[in-house]
Amino acid sequence: MPLSYEGHDTKRELYTKEQRQRRDSTKWTLVQGILAPVQFLVFLISVVLVVRYLATGEGYAAATISIIVKTMVLYTIMITGAIWEKVVFGQYLLAPNFFWEDVVSFFVIGLHTIYLVCLFSDLISSQMLMLLALLAYFIYVVNAVQFLLKLRMARLQHVPEFSHA
């Protein structure tokens, strides 16, 4: 049985003809298509640096800088993704076609923001900061999988698609 919420049936086409035309004609689709792999590359580098710090106690500054860079890229992709969603679906966030992806994105952004607050307020230890970053990264991976599944869904519906993350 397909999942339904707010009148959204997952068996339905991901885009209407008009939404597909808006998606294909907006520069924001290309922006999302570029930012998504950039964010993933930054994430991979950061994970290595964070795990290195946790395993050896070395490289705290590099790991911290990488998390800050990852957070800035995340904020950028979220803002541009909201613009993309407005252009394609007529609302900035929580459009039915990307509702659950947006909800999980809020958790990802929230955890990254909590990391920054804790870092700049010196609220928790460096070890705890790195563990918080890893938790944020785990939820980010869940969110990335959600978007990859939507990309696959669009392709299976014979619709060219760029990642919206």
Which of these ranges, 13-22, 23-32, 112-121, has the smallest mean pLDDT? 13-22
Q: Which 3-state string (H, E, C) describes 64-132? A: HHHHHHHHHHHHHHHHHHHHHHHHHHCCCCCCHHHHHHHHHHHHHHHHHHHHHHHHHHCCCCHHHHHHH
Can you tell me the mean pLDDT for 8-36? 85
Can you tell me the mean pLDDT for 66-70? 98
**How large a percentage of the chain has pLDDT more than 90?**
76
Domain extent listing, the chain: 16-150
Which tens digit of pLDDT belongs to each residue from 90-108? 999 999 988 999 999 999 9
Structural contact between residues 35 and 70, judged by C-beta atoms closer than 8 angstroms: no
- Which residues sit opposite 5 in a β-bridge? 8
Q: Of 136, 113, 111, which Cα lies nearest the Cα of 47? A: 136
Q: Is the pLDDT of residue 144 over 90?
A: yes
Can you tell me the mean pLDDT for 70-80? 97
Comparing 141 with 156, which gets the higher pLDDT?
141
Can you tell me the mean pLDDT for 123-149? 95
Comparing 156 with 130, which gets the higher pLDDT?
130
Q: Is the pLDDT of residue 159 over 50?
A: no
Q: Please report which helix (H) or strand (E) contains residue 38, including its range.
A: helix 27-56
Q: Which pLDDT does position 155 carry in this prediction?
A: 75
